[in-house]
Amino acid sequence: MFSDPQFWVAVAFFAFIAAVFNPIRKILTTNLDAQIKDIKNKIEEAENLKNETQVTLSEIKQRQNHVQTEIQEIHKEAESKVKQLEQLAENKLKDQIIKRQALAEAKIDQLTRDANNFIQLHITSTAIAATILILKEKLNTEEQQNLINKSIQELGSTLKS
């Protein structure tokens, strides 16, 4: 077993993979951390937008209360009309808040999907590039041809089975 060259090639291959894996992992995690930070920033933007709409809602409610007291003092007869207008404004505001929340959630979902797709694409392309680089650096022309021939033979035996 220890005198078999294939065993030592396999040992060298796995040692090389182990040596290359750590820097590649660091690069990937750095890129993933940057993507995560971008997503968190966009989520914070959406939450800030939600908070701003809530502040606007509370300001509008305060204005409505003030207007209501003035109207009651001036015109008791117009009280029913004011209540109708308040209800309409509140419904519109609730509708706007619901729409903005739905848009913000949809935007967050889309950003999450985009980030996941980008991460998967980046990992795949990095793995392929690393494999190609390893094969180009470690194999000479004869070894490449032997590897191709062996793969063809294994493919033929696999297809027969």
What is each CA distance from 118 to 40, 46, 95, 108, 131, in whole angstroms? 16, 21, 34, 15, 20
| Model pLDDT, residue 106 | 96
CA angle, corner 16, sides to 10 and 22, nearest 5? 135
**111-118 average pLDDT score:** 95
* pLDDT tens by residue, 70-90: 777 887 766 677 688 899 999
Range of the domain at 48: 5-160
| Model pLDDT, residue 161 | 67
* pLDDT tens by residue, 22-79: 888 888 889 889 999 999 999 999 999 999 999 999 999 999 999 878 777 887 766 6
| Model pLDDT, residue 133 | 86
> Which percentage of the chain shows pLDDT scores above 70?
96
CB 89 within 8 A of CB 60: yes
Total tally of structural domains belonging to the chain: 1
| Model pLDDT, residue 83 | 86
Rounded distance between C-alpha atoms, residue 141 and residue 146, angstroms = 9
Rounded distance between C-alpha atoms, residue 72 and residue 67, angstroms = 9
Number of neighbouring beta carbons within 10 Å of residue 145: 11
Higher pLDDT among residues 115 and 72, named by residue: 115
Task: Please tell me what DSSP assigns to residue 139.
Answer: -
CB 67 within 8 A of CB 82: yes
How long is the chain? 161
